[in-house]
Each structure stands twice: as structure tokens, then as C-alpha cells.
Structure 1
Amino acid sequence: MQNISDIIEQYLKKILDENKHNTIEIKRSEIADQFQCVPSQINYVIKTRFTVEKGYIVESKRGGGGYIRISKVQHQKDSEMFEEIMEMTQPEVSQNAATDVLERLLNEDVITEREMRIMSRIIDREVLAFPLPLRDEVRSRIMTAMLFTLKYKS
């Protein structure tokens, strides 16, 4: 059984996919009413499931006519996406952010499920048994090397 966060995420992604501009504007309170949850649950979903690492830009306007705008980042070429991700993951990257990047690459059909599992294991904190911040710096270097290789694969 799915939890409410998963259901809200799927709903928002579905309406994003249906929008030809890959942008939606929502009212937090309306979505909360629709799913019979507290508005902070909507904040949680947006903050954790619609991140830059996952390929989304979130903007919000507070006040009476306030809204939350979620846009899916669209790149003209895969190489642009790789450049953006490499910049984002340097000079250090956390395990969660790196995992989000790999999930994005999987969702964009750039890597396979198997490649994602291999790459995830390589950057895992148990494998990179260094103290912080060295661990995040080493993870960044590994991610950059993997992304560079993917960028120029034929």
C-alpha cells in the first residue's frame, strides 16, 4: 500500500506530464483538501520529491493569490543536462543528492535500472568509508567521472 506522499507525488507528476509546457501551478490548500491531508504534507512532498537534482524547479508566491509553480527542466540536448548535473555535484555531493541525480537519469532513460544500481552502490557511504567532508568530495569526483563517461558514450 502506498503512503499519502507517494500518491500526491504521482498525482503532481501526472498533471505535469499532461501539461505541454511541463509547468503547473497549484494551490497548496486545494491539493491538501483534495487529498484530505494537512498543507504541510504538500510542502514535504514538494520539498523532497521535486528537487533540482531530480530535474524540477519550484517557485512559490505567498499571500492570498499565492501558488506553487513546479516546472520540469527540459534540456535541448543530453549534453546540457550532463553539464548542469556535473556543476551541481561539485565540489561535493551528499549521498541523497547523488541518488536523486541517478534517479533522474533513469527517469530520463539515460541509464538503465542495472546501471543505476551499480552506480548507487559505488557512491554509497558504506563503500566510501571516509570522514565528512572528504566522503562527499570523493563522491563528487566519482559522480563527475561517471557523468563525463555517460555524456560522451556513443
Structure 2
Amino acid sequence: MSQQNTSDLIEAYLKKILEESERIEIRRAEMADLFNCVPSQINYVINTRFTIQRGYTVESKRGGGGYIRIEKVQVTSCHHFLEQVNQLFGQTISEKDAAAIIQKLYEEGILSKREGNLLLTTISKAVLNTTAEENTIRARIMHGILERLSYEDSDTRTDQK
């Protein structure tokens, strides 16, 4: 098995469990045994695919009784959620992290697919790579979008599909 395929399998397995439960606790060594991989592979999947930008919080405890707890972020208020997301980054943000935020906004029904795709193009390296301050410009764009969305009336949104 290639590393990517193993990572995809681990991610799918954890997301399937999270569909049934808002929170799971796993042991890294047990997961590594289950997928016949090294424990660092489990860390990689959790650190890259279960981030706050993608709608998850992760807590870990090391040691003999250690665990990794993954929990879905509960979106109770669109305005509150957008404010929280807006506080996740400062004056710079990478294309990867900005894209993860846009994906989460789409998954939560805050953006339509078309709007999300337009934003992905707007914050892309291909568009912003005209200056050394690419991540700074991207952060300004994302802060502006999130602020605007947080004050937009939810009834005025267009088709969310």
C-alpha cells in the first residue's frame, strides 16, 4: 500500500466513526496495528486532516494511558462560527489553510459550491503570486470575507448547493 492510500483509509475510517458519534478516542498504537502502519502515519493523518479549519478539535494525552480524542466542532451560530474561524489566523495564511476554511464554509452551507470555487480561485497561488506578500494579501482577503459573511443575513443567501 502507498502512504497516500493508507492515509485516505485512516481518514475515511475515522470520519465514518465520527458520523455516528460527535467525539472519538483512539490509541495511536492500536490504530497503527489496525492499519499495519507506523504510529507516525496516524499522527500525520490527524495533524493534516482533522484540523480546526476542517471542523475538528484534537486533544491528545501521552503516556501509557494516552489517547487521541477527535471531536467535531459544533456550529451553534453562523455568526459565532465565522468569528471563531476569523480568529484562527493572523496577518498571514497559507493557500492550503485558506482552502480548508473555504471547504468548511461550504460544508456548513455558508457558501454555495459556486461561491466556494470562486473564492478558491481568488486566494490561489496562481492569482496572488505576483508579490512576496502573497500570504498577507490572502489573509486580508479571508478576514474580509469572513467578516462580511458573519454580518450577512442568512435569509439572503442563495442556493447552497
Same-fold status (TM-score > 0.5): yes
Counterpart amino acid of residue 105 in structure 1: L
| 1:1-154 mapped onto 2 (5 Å cutoff) | 3-19=5-21, 22-132=22-132, 134-151=133-150, 152-153=152-153, 154=156
CA distance in 2, matches of 1:13, 1:108: 16
What percent of counterpart residues are identical? 46
Runs of at least 4 residues of structure 1 off by over 2 A? 129-132, 148-151
Q: How many residues align?
A: 151
Gaps of 5+ in 1: none
CA distance in 1, matches of 2:90, 2:130: 17
**CA RMSD, 1 decimal:** 1.8
Counterpart amino acid of residue 3 in structure 1: N
CA distance in 2, matches of 1:26, 1:129: 40
CA distance in 1, matches of 2:137, 2:73: 27
Describe the SS at the equivalent of 1:111.
coil
TM-score under structure 2 normalisation? 0.86
Cα deviations by residue, 1:5-39 (Å, 9 ceiling, x for unpaired): 111111111111211xx111101111111122221
TM-score under structure 1 normalisation? 0.89
Cα deviations by residue, 1:40-74 (Å, 9 ceiling, x for unpaired): 11111001001121121111111111100111111
Counterpart amino acid of residue 76 in structure 2: Q
Describe the SS at the equivalent of 2:68.
strand
* Contact 1:89–1:98 under 8 Å retained in 2: no
CA positional deviation for 1:94: 1.1
CA distance in 2, matches of 1:137, 1:84: 19
* Contact 1:89–1:143 under 8 Å retained in 2: no
CA positional deviation for 1:122: 0.2
Gaps of 5+ in 2: 157-161
Counterpart amino acid of residue 17 in structure 2: I
